[in-house]
Amino acid sequence: MLGFDGPVVIDRASALRGKAFAENLINGSTFAESWLEAVRQTCSNSKHRKAVAIGIGDTRTDAEAVLDTADLASIPAARGAGSPFFMHRY
């Protein structure tokens, strides 16, 4: 899950965020790394640049692994039933 912690500025530079995210993915970065870097690259106001990537898994270790390894070549399988674990990265 990718998003922001708090308000975000929508400006001309942020219109390029999707392009930066896609380029980072194509260059082999994980989903989490691609998103966090795309926001850093395109958000002109550091006060409103708190991007967050959240990994979801069956265990805390699974959730962390999603953040560390999920990319275009390695998309995680659907998680099982039960309460999910969440790990976040800023």
Task: Quote the pTM value.
Answer: 0.86
90 three-state secondary structure: coil
Q: What is the pLDDT of residues 4-29, one digit of tens each?
A: 888 777 777 777 899 999 999 999 99
Treating both helix axes as pointing N-terminal to C-terminal, what angle do 31-42 and 17-26 enclose, rounded to 10 degrees? 140
DSSP 9-71: ---TGGGGHHHHHHHHHHTT--HHHHHHHHHHHH-S-GGG--EEEEEEESSHHHHHHHHHH-B
The domain segmentation of the chain, as residue ranges, is 2-89
> What are 66's two structure tokens?
């999603």
**What is the pLDDT confidence band of residue 70, given thresholds at 50, 70 and 90?**
very high
